[in-house]
Structure 1
Amino acid sequence: MKRIVVLGGGFAGLWSAIGAARRLDEEGIGPDRVRVTLVERNDFHAIRVRNYEDDLDATTVPLSTVLDPVGVERIRGEATAIDADRRIVQVRREGEEVELRYDRLVYALGSRLWRPPIPGLGEHGFDIDTYEGAKRLQAHLRGLAATPVIGSVMGEEARAVIAEALDALGVKVRTGVRVAAVDSEGVALEDGSRIDASTVVWCAGMRAHALGASLPGAKDELGRIEVDAFMRVRGVPDLFAAG
């Protein structure tokens, strides 16, 4: 039996798996001959572009409701390594590493928010890059709304620092200066100045998933993989990249 493996349950990975299953069905090829397998660490597809919404639960779709009816196998786990020569993906699943062999591989792990090693950013910074991150920010903001301090200064002094923000809706924007450190009371800038804030939201650009760096072939400065017009990774047989 042959196997098509898709890494990632975002838009690119989900549609790749569904598209493969549909084409196999059209050709009359059943799962006893070719199996389509999607590897994703979550049980749901997160509609990432809606992570700003108040009702975050409405932005997720259980993968089982989409994949089960079309016969796509789902493995809950995270790809940790790819051996393109041996056609094997290493997957961390329920605390253990397993090998998953493939005949065709679709690499659709997408991008991640770029988080440089700024002191305090991981502990005190917020983002909406993922569903989990958006939930964390939402809980934080709701907690602030319940505090009397924020209630008394909301009009003038309570500010959120949006790193690399757009100048919109009257949001004050600082440009030409880098963040040096983040703490629970705001941001220290490299020019020695400081911006006090109850909430620091980091939105300073994206980078391709780090696993792509281990694959053969050219990448750009953001880590994106070079592909041809058919989304095939150049120089690597039976490996496709999307998303």
Structure 2
Amino acid sequence: MAERVLILGGGFAGNAAARALGGQGLEVTLIDQRNYHLFQPLLYQVAAGDLQAEAIATPQRRLLRGSGLHFRLGRVARLDLSPRSILLDDGDVLPYDYLFIALGTVTNFFGNAAIASHALQLKGMEAAEEARSRIFSALEAASHCADPAQRRRWLHFVIAGGGPTGVEFCGALLELLHVLLPRDYPELQPEELQITLVQGGAALLPGFAAPLQAQAARKLQKLGAQLRFHTHVLGFDGQTVQCQPDPAIPAHTLVWTAGVTANPLAATLPGAKGPGGRIIVDPHLRLPGHPEVFIVGDLAYGSDGEFWPQVAPFALQSARHAALVLQSQRQGRALPPPFAYRDPGSMAVLGRFDAVCQIERWHLHWHGGSAWLLWLGLHLYRIIGTRNRLLTLLDWGTDYLRHGAAVEIIRSLPNSSDP
């Protein structure tokens, strides 16, 4: 009987592990609560109306057509390391010989229930589509609002978090609304629109070179964003964003991009945890004391404290290394050298025809049109499937010409308890 490998999570790491193990004489089952793989780096464009969600989603079964590869739709309820099994929320118990945990992260609201209840987030397709619906619902409400104060609240969008997601979403939203307001909302004046980005640190894009951080700030300010540095969001009730130390911001919309934390199931595993609840692993990405359990992707944290970014390149590299280690263990071969992350560089798009890019191992930092073209090409290359690439190209092509592809559909109206 073939040895059984369970892979929990169908993101970049989970899919890379499955593909690396396919055709190796193993029975590999990938388990995910959704039946599609989502290209997370472009999720903010779904929220901003630049892309349709289907362009960045690929059915899992289409990706798992190799020998010995299977997909199971379900949500993991419990992990049991002894005996080796997992419990799904439908009551099914699945045994394993090897386990890959690639469950990723969830949005971190830092225990603030009010923000978690009222703010929008950009983690998952449903969340991105809800954000888009709420943004366009706010425009609709403002278009017939007679109260000047309420009208200003509807037209003020606050983004918490100045990392790549917050910066990219801010730029995309500004460019979109500057075109749509005069074209599709004659009742509204473009100068009424306000977008404020709140950042706890001294600069945008932490981890980027200082000149690129400054360029990002200049670009967003040129587009019309108000930037608040050294400021933290403390609360949000759907009417007002409470800040410290700056004054409160009257706004109906808060988009939260201020951090992530480990999937809650990570806390149930034995052993030490790193920042954000990440699981500290051995040099071969295994759970200490359990050589049959591999931690890959965003959940993994090095035992030597080396910084591993929670990005797609790390997810792919960690999954492939873990798959190689598993095969070495099975065949009694010497293990490969310890895992070492090779940083391919970092980039963030600031708007049409403008991006920042850095490749530290070559000491390269630049911005502008060439960086944007590189960003465009790499993201198109990484999107899975010809159909998805064509959909993305079509959306981008009409969008960059005149925002003609803007997805303005409101999926559902806010609940009566929402603003």
TM-score by length of 2: 0.51
- What is the rounded CA distance, in whole Å, between the counterparts of 1:19 and 1:110 in structure 2? 19
Equivalent residue, structure 2, for 1:112: 106
Matches within 5 A, 1:92-107: 92=89, 96-107=90-101
- Contact 2:22 / 2:66 at 8 angstroms: preserved in 1? no
Cα distance change, pair 119–110 in 1 and its aligned pair in 2 (3 A): closer
Equivalent residue, structure 2, for 1:140: 134
Equivalent residue, structure 1, for 2:195: 159
Equivalent residue, structure 2, for 1:237: 291
Pairwise CA distance, 1:152 = 2.9
Cα distance change, pair 218–181 in 1 and its aligned pair in 2 (3 A): same
Does 1:59 pair with 2:51? Answer: no
Q: Secondary structure at the match of 1:133?
A: helix
- Contact 1:88 / 1:99 at 8 angstroms: preserved in 2? yes
Superimposed CA distance per residue, residues 36-63 of structure 1 (whole angstroms, 9 cap, x where no aligned partner): 1111000100111110222222011111
Match among 38, 45, 58 for residue 30 of structure 2: 38
Pairwise CA distance, 1:184 = 2.0
Equivalent residue, structure 2, for 1:6: 7
Runs of 5+ consecutive residues of structure 2 not aligned to the other structure: 144-150, 156-186, 205-215, 298-419
- What is the rounded CA distance, in whole Å, between the counterparts of 1:157 and 1:195 in structure 2? 14
Q: Secondary structure at the match of 1:229?
A: coil
Pairwise CA distance, 1:70 = 4.1
Q: Secondary structure at the match of 1:117?
A: coil
Q: Secondary structure at the match of 1:237?
A: strand
Superimposed CA distance per residue, residues 62-121 of structure 1 (whole angstroms, 9 cap, x where no aligned partner): 1111113444111111112111121111111xxx22211100000101112212232431
Does 1:181 pair with 2:235? Answer: yes
Equivalent residue, structure 2, for 1:219: 273
- Contact 2:7 / 2:101 at 8 angstroms: preserved in 1? yes
**Which amino acid counterpart does residue 20 of structure 2 have in structure 1?**
G
Q: Secondary structure at the match of 2:277?
A: coil
Matches within 5 A, 1:63-78: 63-78=60-75
- Contact 1:160 / 1:197 at 8 angstroms: preserved in 2? no
- Contact 1:161 / 1:199 at 8 angstroms: preserved in 2? no
Q: In angstroms, what is the RMSD of aligned CA positions?
A: 2.2
- Contact 2:33 / 2:74 at 8 angstroms: preserved in 1? yes
Q: Secondary structure at the match of 2:132?
A: helix
Cα distance change, pair 161–119 in 1 and its aligned pair in 2 (3 A): farther
Q: Secondary structure at the match of 1:112?
A: strand
Q: Secondary structure at the match of 1:230?
A: coil
Matches within 5 A, 1:195-210: 195-210=249-264
Percent of residue pairs bearing the same amino acid type:
29
Equivalent residue, structure 2, for 1:49: 41
| Farther-moved stretch of structure 1 (115-124 vs 208-217) | 115-124
- Contact 2:100 / 2:294 at 8 angstroms: preserved in 1? yes
TM-score by length of 1: 0.86
| Farther-moved stretch of structure 1 (199-208 vs 179-188) | 179-188
- What is the rounded CA distance, in whole Å, between the counterparts of 2:190 and 2:111 in structure 1? 31
Higher strand share: 1
Equivalent residue, structure 1, for 2:86: 89
Does 1:15 pair with 2:16? Answer: yes
- What is the rounded CA distance, in whole Å, between the counterparts of 2:112 and 2:271 in structure 1? 31
Cα distance change, pair 218–106 in 1 and its aligned pair in 2 (3 A): same
Pairwise CA distance, 1:158 = 3.2
- What is the rounded CA distance, in whole Å, between the counterparts of 1:12 and 1:212 in structure 2? 16
- Contact 2:241 / 2:251 at 8 angstroms: preserved in 1? yes
- Contact 1:163 / 1:201 at 8 angstroms: preserved in 2? no
- What is the rounded CA distance, in whole Å, between the counterparts of 2:113 and 2:5 in structure 1? 42
Cα distance change, pair 192–119 in 1 and its aligned pair in 2 (3 A): farther
| Farther-moved stretch of structure 1 (232-241 vs 153-162) | 153-162
- What is the rounded CA distance, in whole Å, between the counterparts of 2:63 and 2:74 in structure 1? 18
Does 1:129 pair with 2:123? Answer: yes
- Contact 1:207 / 1:222 at 8 angstroms: preserved in 2? yes
- Contact 1:162 / 1:200 at 8 angstroms: preserved in 2? no
- Contact 1:79 / 1:90 at 8 angstroms: preserved in 2? yes
**Which amino acid counterpart does residue 73 of structure 1 have in structure 2?**
H
Q: Secondary structure at the match of 2:37?
A: strand
| Farther-moved stretch of structure 1 (181-190 vs 106-115) | 181-190
- Contact 1:44 / 1:63 at 8 angstroms: preserved in 2? yes
Q: Secondary structure at the match of 1:122?
A: helix
| Farther-moved stretch of structure 1 (159-168 vs 46-55) | 159-168
Higher helix share: 2
Pairwise CA distance, 1:191 = 4.6
- Contact 1:8 / 1:38 at 8 angstroms: preserved in 2? yes
**Which amino acid counterpart does residue 135 of structure 2 have in structure 1?**
L
Cα distance change, pair 73–119 in 1 and its aligned pair in 2 (3 A): closer
- What is the rounded CA distance, in whole Å, between the counterparts of 2:245 and 2:95 in structure 1? 52
